[in-house]
Every structure is written in structure tokens, then in C-alpha cells.
Amino acid sequence: MNTVHEKTNAKPLIESIFVASRKQATRPAGYLLSALLMLSTPIQAQDAVDPDTEAQALSSSINDSTEESQGLREPDVPLDVEALYETMTPIPVYGRTAIELLRELETKHYSPVTFDDAFSNQVYDHYIEALDGQKLYFMGGDIEQLDQYQTTLDDALKNGDLQPAYEIYNLYHRRLLERLVWTVEYVESEVANLDFSEQEYLVLDREDQPWAADEAELNDIWRRRVKSSALSLTLTGMETDKVVERLSKRYRNQLSQISKTNARDVFQAYLGTVARTVDPHTSYFSPRDSENFNMSLRGSLQGIGAQLTSEDEYTKVAELITGGPAEKQGDLRAGDRIIGIAQGEDGEMQDVIGLRLDDVVDQIRGEEGTLVRLNVIPADATSEAGAKEIAIVRDTVELADQFAKSEVIEVESDGELYRVGVINLPSFYFDFEAAAAGLENYRSSARDVKAELESLKEQDVAAVVVDLRYNGGGSLNEANELVGLFIETGPTVQIRYSGQRNGFVRSYGDTNKEVAYDGPLAVLVNRASASASEIFAGAIQDYQRGIVLGGQTFGKGTVQEIIPMNYGQVKLTRSKFYRISGASTQHRGVLPDITFPDRYQAIETMGESNLDGALPWDTVRPVEHQDYYPLEDILPELMTRHEARASDDPDFVFLEGSVERMQTVRARETLPLNREELKAQRDADRRAAFDANNARLAAKGLPLEEWKEESELAALEEAEEEEAASETDEADNTEVADASEATAEEEEAEEDDPLLMESGRILVDMAQLLGQPMAAVMPGDGMQAAQVEVDRSEETTEAL
């Protein structure tokens, strides 16, 4: 059994280069089973389609760059559907894997799974929705044709027959190619003649709209989408010829990427849909996707330490990872384009121009200590004639931004300053393979947080905030261990099992009497805090060990397990977890003791309760536990004090207004395609946000912003890009020093996080009301809060 961590990539266009060890970790005797169970969720808003995002189902690796690459190859894709289209068919191993997947789902999932006509209907609906949820490619006649598969997919899956899924996908792929070819031709022939004085509108969310009756209706839908994109660019002051050039390049790039779709993509898309039909957190991963997925929990990778993106037909270096082999070697730069790859000292250089990003990634991956040679066009070169070869020895790279970090903020309250420690934890990570191999210094979020707590105590902090905003979860055992850092002993979470132990409830807890930190504690969460984050926040709240602040959490109360298969792996829901109070977090999440403004309040589709097939909320018996502080008794006074501050706090007033403005915008169902109407709407939206922000700045005594028209903003942005592009990577010591000083000035000018600052003030109030007031460090005098960064993860990276 292997284990993984599910995590949303913050940069969806970027793929790290790394390699997974193919050795299966074995579980040593006595190894805690809960460490192998995963509590995580992909945090993403299910939103209405963006009219400027085309072919979104398959084009997530496309970077719509605005750079002009003189002397470089441009996508040369024929505008001929028949030349581009190729029928895709499954290979035998895909069918065998489908049968194995059904067996795993039927025998090991938490809920009983029956593969019948009803299940087939669900798979069919989910598959169509995943391919064309906005009804932009299929027509009504297509759906009538495909409806023959509604009640037969279950039987086909049982027999290992994936041909029906490929028939559906092939038709979708043809329609997608047809649509992009039509769009490119329309852009290049008609956009220059568009009339923006007409009174017409674009429907923003087509999910509930009927399918287009015929090609003419579909053409009109896309005409409006193109018109919307063109109008948006025009309002920035872009000339018509540049608008045509930009949109033509955008859709040609997408056509180029879509034409590279292969049978493996169809296989992953379909079996992934089958798994998610059982519940939204059950997934299938092909071998390649398994390798990528398994990397995310460890927080480390073996490779060159670069992040790549696709631009035109090139693979472009988006970023170098600090401390990685590429950065240490020194020749590879962000913005460089990789055009060839060779293995070892003598391997033949392979041309990779036009290859899919994942295929390029596969070639750059390799074991630690091996050599890869890259043929690279430097960022400042204008043609392939300037290419050079760079040799890099692969190594292990730690992703420092994924690990726990701490800082000290100084919070002003009633004229006094108080030192408050903040620990930011992006996920509940754990290196299962290293731990199973018996390595002592394996990565663990609980270990890292403990080290950060020790550092904060050395800095004499009077309180601690654990910041779990945007933390989508991770290891169950790590959540248990993390709670244990703040309590003496006791249960932390309850797990209810299925299968042979169906209905059996087991309590997990902390048996170590050592307490890493016993002072005032707050947990800061939002709607994107999920699963393991909810276990921690719920336990701290149930014990009344600390106060939970922020927004309602995601509401994921299920535990997943990764089970290796002969071809890939399945992540399936095996159990549900419950708070020690007996309540489930499923659907409802953890409700904060004091609520802060949360922009996710404006996203009505955010959260477990909005996911198809999510398991229901329920309860189990509570387990006995102690209360550390009478927080419920002082909560009304805490809320009164907070509300009094928040009502006059410029940042809180601004945040509340921002949520309301987002809700207003998201409530719109159409977008004007009339120039004056759209401009008036956009100006009104921008003016409302601009005025609100200037009111905030004025109340804080900060410099006000100056209003600029959209065209002015676009011109400034273009000028900044040109200036950045012209800068050289070389700098003498004086330039480096100047840059460091400039960076320090920028950091000093940064505003404090208002939610963290208010969390600190609430902790000051809490300590006072509990009769244990904090010690102030100095009089307030309206000083700016000083921040001291402490990053243990960077220290560890250097040590390695």
C-alpha cells in the first residue's frame, strides 16, 4: 500500500521536474496505520466559465504569452480538422485496469458501490459534464447520439471494454478541433469588422442552457465569446491589428496543444470520472499521474529543480527552485526555452520543440546523481542560433515553500505592543517513504511545527497563531501529532471504518505528555481549510485549548487511502472522521468562534456540500475529554470587543465591502458586448473598488492611489514588461547591494495582514479575560508592526 497527498497546484500552468523512486515502501512493524491514511482535498472554486478562457477542458498547460519571439518558431498547425483529427482507441492494459478498478471500488470503498444502470447514468452524466460542462462543443444531435451509452457503461466496464468511452471522447475531440479551427478563421477574417455598438450579451454560465441545436447556433455562441474577448482587449487601448494578432495566437496555440491529445489522456480522464462518480475524493491515477501525485506529499523532488510551462511550441523555464541543481549550476535562467534534451555525457540530443509538456518532463526526469544535457535558447536570444548546451547533474530538491514557516508580529492593543508568533502551515505533509525506510530526518509537518514553536519561544512570543488558511489537508497521523503539541494527552479524532470493520469507531489520540506550547493559542482558517486542517481546528476548539478564527472550513470529513494497482493506483475513501465531540465535519466543516470576512463567502459553489456525490453528515458518540480554558464563558465578551474594533477598522470594512462587491459581480448572468455599456460597467466596478481602497488608505494615513483608465494601466504594464525584459541577469556587487536595499524598502512598505493582526488582538483580550494577561514589550505609539521571518525549511535545504 502506498500513500499520497492530494494538493492543488497554485500555479496550474507550471509543472515541476522531478522523479519518483519506483521502490515500494514497506511498512515496518508497529508503524501507525493512520499515517497511511490521507486527509486532503483539492481546493478550487467551481466557477462560471471565463469568456476569455477557451477549450479549458484540455488546454490547462497553455500559456497565452504576449511576447513577440522574433526568429523563433511559431505554431504551424493546419486549419484542417481532417488533418488534425486522429481516432483514439484503448490498449488492452486499459481494459484490465478498468476491471481491477471496479473490484477495488466494490470491495474497499467506505460506502457500498453497485455497478448497475443507475451508476452507468451517473458516469455518463459526469463524463459529459467533465468534457463539455459549459455546452460549447457538443450539439443537441451529438448528445442524442451519445445517449445510447447512458445505461451500458457499467456492463462495458465490467468486461474491460473502454471503447464506448473512447467513442464519446473521439466525438468530443472532433468537435473541439472543429470549434477551434472555426474560431481561428473567424478571428483572422472577421474580428477587425466587429460592431461594438450593437446591443447584445454573452451568457456567462451555460451549464443550465440547452445544447446548441445546430452548427449555426454554436457559431453564434462562439462569435459572442470571441467578440467579448476582442472587446476586452479593445478597452485596454489595444489596436485592432494587435487584437487580431493576440487572439489568433491564443487560439492557434490552443489548437496546437489540443491536437496532441492521445489515448492515454482519454484513459486517465475516463477512469478518473468513474472513480469520482463513487465520491468526489475517490480518484484513479495512471502510472505517470501517480508519480506526480506521490511527489507532492514528500515536499521534495529528484531532478534539476526547475518549473516549466508551455509557450507556443517551446518548453519555457518559469522558475528555478531555490537551492536546486539548476540554480546551483548557474547557467539556466527563468525565461530560457528548452529545445533539446540528451541523457548523460554521450547521449544524442533529442529535439523537443512542439512536444507536450509532460513528455518533455519525462525526458528531464532522472535519478539523483545522473546527468542531463539541455539545449537552451537563452531568454534574451531572438533566434535558435543563440542556443547553448547546459549540463546539470540531477539531485534531491526540497520545496521550501511547502513547509511550515514562522514569523513574529508585534500587535498593538490599547497602546501596548505584544509579540505574537505566527506559524503558517501549507499542508499536513509527511515523507512516508523516508519514514518507512527508517531514515531519521524524514520530513514531517508536526516535527517542523515543533521546531518553529521552539524558535518562537526563544523569541519570547506571548501567544501563537496557527495559520491554516488554504491548507487542504494531508496525513491523518500528522493532524493527530500536531494536536498533541498543544495538549497533554487525550483523543484527537475518531475514525469510523467500513468493510470488515463496518461501523467500528476508533479514537486516535496523543499519548505523549510533553507539551510543546502551552500559551494562548488561535487557529486561523477559511473556506479553503480542509480535512486534516479541520481535525486540528476542531480538536483545539473541542478542548477549548484555543480559539478558532476566520471563515467556515471546507467540510470534508472523509479519509482516503492509496492502493497500488497493476497499472497506476486508486485513491479511495475508506473511512470517515469525527471530532471528539462526536460531530462530523462532513458538509458543515468547522465553524469559527469568531468570524472574519472571507472572500470565499462570495463563491457559492465552494465547499464539500456543493460536490456531487459527497457523503452525508452524521454523528457518533462523543469521547471524554477535558476543557483547558473556559473559552465559551468569555466568548461573548471577546466577540463584543472584536466587533467594536472591526466596525471601525479600515481593513475589515474594506474586506467586508470586497465580499459584497464579489457577490454582486458573481450574480451577473450576462456580459454586455456593447462597448459603452461594458466600459461603464467595468469603470463602475473599478471605481467602487478604487474608492473603497482609497478610503481604507486614507483612514490608515497611507498615500492614496491615483485613478487611471484601463488603457493607461495596460500601457504601464506593457512598459514594465519591456523594462523587465531588457534587464540583464548579470550584476556587480554594487547592483546586488542596491537590489537588496530596494527589496528591504519594499518589505518595509508592505502592509500587515489585517486578519493576523486582529487574531493577535483577540489573543491579547483572551489572555486578559482568563486572568493571565500578556506582557507587553513596549508602548505602542502607533508604530508599524515589525516582522521577523524564521524559515526552518530553508535552513534544512542548505544543510542537505
Active-site positions read: 531, 542, 556
Helical packing angle, 675-699 and 215-234, nearest 10°: 50
CB 453 within 8 A of CB 517: yes
Question: What b/e sequence results for 704-738 when a residue is b if at least 16 CB atoms lie within 10 Å of its CB, and e otherwise?
Answer: eeeeeebeeebeeeeeeeeeeeeeeeeeeeeeeee
Structure letter (DSSP) for residue 552 = -
Burial class (CB in 10 A: 0-12, 13-18, 19+), 361: buried
3-class SS of residue 449: helix
CB 416 within 8 A of CB 782: no
Helical packing angle, 631-648 and 754-769, nearest 10°: 140
Q: How far apart are CA 322 and CA 327, in angstroms?
A: 7
Q: How far apart are CA 770 and CA 545, in angstroms?
A: 12
CB 348 within 8 A of CB 358: no
Q: How many CA atoms lie within 13 A of 311 on its CB side?
A: 20
Backbone angles phi, psi at 256, to 5 degrees: -60, -45
Query: Among candidates 255, 257, 358, 286, which has minimal Cα distance to 90?
Result: 286
Q: How far apart are CA 391 and CA 389, in angstroms?
A: 7
CB 2 within 8 A of CB 564: yes
The x, y and z cell numbers of residue 666, run together, are 458573481
The stretches of 378-486 forming alpha helices (DSSP H) are 432-436, 445-458, 476-484
Q: How far apart are CA 687 and CA 587, in angstroms?
A: 37
Q: How far apart are CA 420 and CA 714, in angstroms?
A: 41
Structure letter (DSSP) for residue 269 = H
**Identity (one letter) of the amino acid at 367?**
E
Helical packing angle, 263-278 and 117-132, nearest 10°: 130
Burial class (CB in 10 A: 0-12, 13-18, 19+), 376: buried
Structure letter (DSSP) for residue 68 = -
Other CB atoms within 10 A of residue 162 CB: 25
Burial class (CB in 10 A: 0-12, 13-18, 19+), 472: buried
Q: Which helix (H) or strand (E) holds 237?
A: none
Burial class (CB in 10 A: 0-12, 13-18, 19+), 333: middle
In Å, what is the CA distance from 2 to each residue of 284, 396, 564? Answer: 14, 20, 6
Q: How far apart are CA 574 and CA 238, in angstroms?
A: 54
Q: How far apart are CA 518 and CA 324, in angstroms?
A: 37
Helical packing angle, 163-190 and 215-234, nearest 10°: 50
Taking phi over 0 as left and psi of -120 to 50 as alpha, with beta for the rest, 473 belongs to left
Residues near 380 by beta carbon (within 8 Å), at least 6 away in sequence? 335, 725, 728
The x, y and z cell numbers of residue 124, run together, are 455518463
The x, y and z cell numbers of residue 118, run together, are 443507475
Q: How far apart are CA 117 and CA 114, in angstroms?
A: 9
Q: How far apart are CA 678 and CA 373, in angstroms?
A: 51
Beta strand extents in 737-781 (DSSP E only) = 778-779
